[in-house]
Chain A
Amino acid sequence: MNNHQTATRHDCRLLVGTSGYSYAEWVEAGFYPAFTQSGKMLPLYAKVFPITELNYTWYQMPRAEAVERMRRNAPDHFLFAAKLTRTLTHEIDPREWQHQAESFRDGISPFIQAQQLAALLIQLPPGFDRTAANRRYLAALLDALQGLPLAVEFRHVSWVHDQVFAELERRRVTLVAVDEPELPGLFPPLDVVTNPDFFYIRFHGRNQKGWRSGNMQKKFDYDYSDAELHHWVEQKIVKMAGQSRTGIIFFNNHVAAQAPKNAETMINLLRREGFQVNILV
C-alpha cells in the first residue's frame, strides 16, 4: 500500500458528515429548528454537511421511487453513502441473497445515475468471523456488487489479517476504519488503506457500558473530546489521506445530537491541519 503514499494532504478531499440525519432528538437538541418534520430534515442537514450515510437502507430495502424523492430533496452536489440492507449482512437467506443484491442495486440506482453515491457500506455483524464459509459469502457478495464504490466494515477481530487487506486492495474495496470502545473481540481502530479512491472512517463512540446493552440509545451515547479527535487526525487521518484521493468520515454517535457536534469539531481540526474539507468538486 506504500505506493499510494506519494500524495499530499492537499490532494485528498475530505468529506465529513453523520450516520443518518433523521432523528427526533436532534430537534430537541437544537440542531434542527423546533417542529421540524423528519421529511424536511435533509435540506436543513445539507446546509451544514455535504454528505450523509443512510441508515434506513439497512432496515428497509431501498426502492428507487423513494430514493429518487430523497435525492431531489437535497442539492445536486450532495452525496450519499448507503448502508447495505440487513438481509445481505445480518439476516442472510442463502436462497434469496442474490435476488436481494439485485434489488438493492435497483433501489439505489437514482443515486448512481445522478453520480451522488459516494459509497456503499457493507457492515458485517459482530458474529461474522473469518470462517471459510463467511469468506466465501463475502467474496460472492463483493462480486455481486462489483462496480459500486464498496466499503466493508468488519466487527469481528478475526478479520485483522494481511491476506484480507491484500484481497480488498486487489478488488479496490475500502476497509472501513472504526472508532469504537476497546472491548475484547471487536475490530480495532486501524489506519489501513486498501483503496486509492477513498478511505472511510466511522466514529461509533466509546461507550463501553452501553455497547452490548442491545439499546441504541446507550450504545451510541458518547461525546468525543477535542483531544480524542485530534489524536485521530494526527495519528491516522494524515497518513490515510496520503494514500487516497477522498476520505469519508462519519459520526454515528447520534444520541442527543453529539454526532453533528463532533463532526463540526472534526471539520475545524482538519482545516487547521490544512485539509480541504467538505468542498465538493
Chain B
Amino acid sequence: MQSLAPLLLTLKVAGFASLCAFVAGVGLAFVLARYRFRGRECFDAVFTLPLVLPPTVLGYYLIVLIGRNGWIGRYLYDAFGITLMFTWQGAVLAAAVVSLPLVFKAARAAFESVDHNLEKAARTLGSTEWGVFLRISFPLAWRGIMAGTMLAFARAMGEFGATLMVAGNLPGKTQTLSLAVYDAVQAGNDGLAAVLVLITSAACILVLLCSGRILKSQYLKEIEQ
C-alpha cells in the first residue's frame, strides 16, 4: 500500500495538471494563431519558456508568486486563508506550468494548419465566432491538440524539480512517484525504490499504449470515412 499511494497521487496530479494545461494551452494557442497584435511572438516565447527553463527556475518563480509571502500568495492567504505551498493543488500548478508549452505548441501548429476558407465559409453561413471555434477550428485541430495533451500528461507524471520546490515532498500528501523514488534511494531503501521504479515504468507503458490506441483508432476512422 505504501507504494500505491504515490501512484494514485501522481495520476491525480498529472490528470488535473494536463486538464489545466489543455484549457489554458488551447485558449492561448487559438488567440495567438488567429489574431494579429503587437508582441504576439513575445507572448509565444513566454508561454514556451517553461519548456526551456530548468524546472528549479520555474519553481523559484512560483514560490515568488504563490508563496505565503509571494505576490499572489499573500493576497490568497489574507483573503481566503488558502496556501498552495505544500499541497497537492500546488503540485498540480507546478506540473501544469511545466507541461503547458507541450499543449500550447501543438495546438498552435494545429490551429494554423486548419484551412481558413472553411472558417470563412462557416461565417458566411451565419455562424458566430464561438460557433466557428467549436464546430470548425477545434474539431479540425483535435488530433494535434490530443497529441500535445498526451505529452503534457506524460511530462506532468515525471515532473520533479518544480514540484519539489513548490509542494515539498510529504509522504501521502504531495509525494508523487518521482519524488518517492528519489526519497527511497536517498534513504538507502533499495527494495522500495525497485518496486516504485517498476510501478512507474508499468504506468508509463500503459499510458503510451492507451494514447497510441486512441490516436490510432481515430486515424483509422478517418481512413474508413
Tell me whether A and B are bound partners: no
